[in-house]
Structure 1
Amino acid sequence: MALHVDYYMTLNSPWTYLGGRRFEAMLAKYGATATIKPVDYGKIFPQSGGLPLPKRAPQRQAYRLVELARWRDFTGEPLTLQPKFWPAKDELARNMVIAARSQGNNAIKLAHALMRAVWAEEKDISDPATVDAIAQGCGLDGHGLRQAAADPAHAAAYEADTQEALERGVFGAPSYVVDGEIFWGQDRLDFLDRRLAKG
């Protein structure tokens, strides 16, 4: 029996971006389903012992760049270590992802395209024309989706998903949750692969 993955993430995470295509391929490989859930790590970190990047020790910040370069080279994913529009102002974009999810569209594909725009293409995902074009490139009605994203229900879903993540023990991005079991980080995708293989 195929499994379901709850996919907790943020568009601002380079690690989520680096694992994006591999995660999509894994879902297809096993016929698994997934629900993407952008969440607020600004609320999750203080309750889980995490620190936002600017508050981390200089050694950790420096090593993060080393690891990003290693993973970029290993995965072959294009990635700018210090992109022009990062941290991204992602409220509009994340609400479009949630709107796409609520409409039954491919919200995961959209989210990964938005992350690619930030991390590989130096694009500003707070710009309406930019996000419209990205959504169009995913086969979606960009303008219509952006209008739908203004519905307060999507902001409420973001808050509810953040609370859900906290209650389930999620503390970092990306987190893949299968039957209550958390796989944190794109570097745990091999473990997720084995879990999905079990069914």
Structure 2
Amino acid sequence: MSKVIDYYLTLISPWAYLGSQRFAEIAKRHGAEVRVKPVNFGEIFPRTGGLPLAKRAPERQAYRLVELKRWSEYLDIPIHLQPKHFPAPEALAARMVIAAGESGGKPLELAQAVGKAVWEEERDIGDAATCEAIAAETGHDGAALRAKAEEAASEARHATLTEEALARGVFGAPSYVYKDEIFWGQDRLDFLDRALAKG
């Protein structure tokens, strides 16, 4: 495919969850290839001036909930504003998505399912059995994908993607990179759509 989008995200981002289906539809409509690249924002934030949610000012935390509710209602996508298992350790789930992409699986579908598991279904993606189940629900061999994700090579790949994101100027999630132009946030999907339309 001539159109390629690099999709940098953290799987527990509510914004990635809210934008995931629209993003998939936009990419499909334009015949674009999506390279799903989960990265570690625990590394990215301190190096780009960002703060993890718990360290943000109370006013910012409160407004985030307002915006999540607005977008959920606007897009008609269900969301628990404060899900039971958030934040959850996502390293295993992220590496399973990476493994899916490198083994001919469906990384975008798996990433979407993980987001839905956190924000709609309130499942604990920090639990390995839950990750396996989510993978199976998207047509993967959950146990095999987990085993591959637990290999040192998958951990190294996760770290490499994080450094790649930093080198390309990524600082927030989700970030969609097309022709080296960053579109940060699901609220910029209309701009990505226009860029893809131009070719």
Give the structure-2-normalised TM-score.
Answer: 0.97
Give SS of 1:92's match.
helix
Tell me, in whole angstroms, the C-alpha distance in 1 between the residues paired with 2:45 and 2:133.
32
Q: Flag structure 1 segments of 5+ consecutive residues without an equivalent.
A: none
Could you say which residue in structure 2 is the equivalent of 1:136? Answer: 136
Tell me, in whole angstroms, the C-alpha distance in 1 between the residues paired with 2:15 and 2:175.
10
CA deviation after TM superposition for structure 1 residue 78, in Å: 1.1
Q: Deviations over 1:88-128 (max 9, x none)?
A: 11111111111101102110100110110001001011222
Give SS of 2:177's match.
strand
Tell me, in whole angstroms, the C-alpha distance in 2 between the residues paired with 1:2 and 1:168.
20
Tell me, in whole angstroms, the C-alpha distance in 2 between the residues paired with 1:163 and 1:92.
18
- The AA in structure 1 aligned to 2:33 is T
Q: Deviations over 1:133-186 (max 9, x none)?
A: 211111111111111111111110111111111111000000000111000000
Tell me, in whole angstroms, the C-alpha distance in 1 between the residues paired with 2:74 and 2:166.
31
Tell me, in whole angstroms, the C-alpha distance in 2 between the residues paired with 1:129 and 1:41.
24
Tell me, in whole angstroms, the C-alpha distance in 2 between the residues paired with 1:76 and 1:129.
30
Q: Deviations over 1:28-83 (max 9, x none)?
A: 10110011111111111111111111111111000000000000001111110000
Give SS of 1:68's match.
helix
CA deviation after TM superposition for structure 1 residue 8, in Å: 0.3
1:2/1:196 contact within 8 Å kept? no
Tell me, in whole angstroms, the C-alpha distance in 1 between the residues paired with 2:64 and 2:119.
15
1:146-157 maps to which residues of 2 (within 5 A)?
Answer: 146-157=146-157
Could you say which residue in structure 2 is the equivalent of 1:115? Answer: 115
Could you say which residue in structure 2 is the equivalent of 1:25? Answer: 25
1:2/1:30 contact within 8 Å kept? no
Could you say which residue in structure 1 is the equivalent of 2:44? Answer: 44
Could you say which residue in structure 2 is the equivalent of 1:100? Answer: 100
1:50-199 maps to which residues of 2 (within 5 A)?
Answer: 50-199=50-199
Q: Flag structure 2 segments of 5+ consecutive residues without an equivalent.
A: none
Tell me, in whole angstroms, the C-alpha distance in 2 between the residues paired with 1:23 and 1:14.
14
Identity of aligned residues (%): 57
Tell me, in whole angstroms, the C-alpha distance in 1 between the residues paired with 2:3 and 2:75.
25
Tell me, in whole angstroms, the C-alpha distance in 1 between the residues paired with 2:48 and 2:131.
32
Could you say which residue in structure 1 is the equivalent of 2:12? Answer: 12
CA deviation after TM superposition for structure 1 residue 2, in Å: 4.0
Give the count of matched residue pairs.
199
Tell me, in whole angstroms, the C-alpha distance in 1 between the residues paired with 2:7 and 2:53.
22
Give SS of 1:177's match.
strand
Tell me, in whole angstroms, the C-alpha distance in 1 between the residues paired with 2:141 and 2:147.
10
- The AA in structure 2 aligned to 1:76 is D
**Displaced runs of 4+ in structure 1, greater than 3 A?**
none
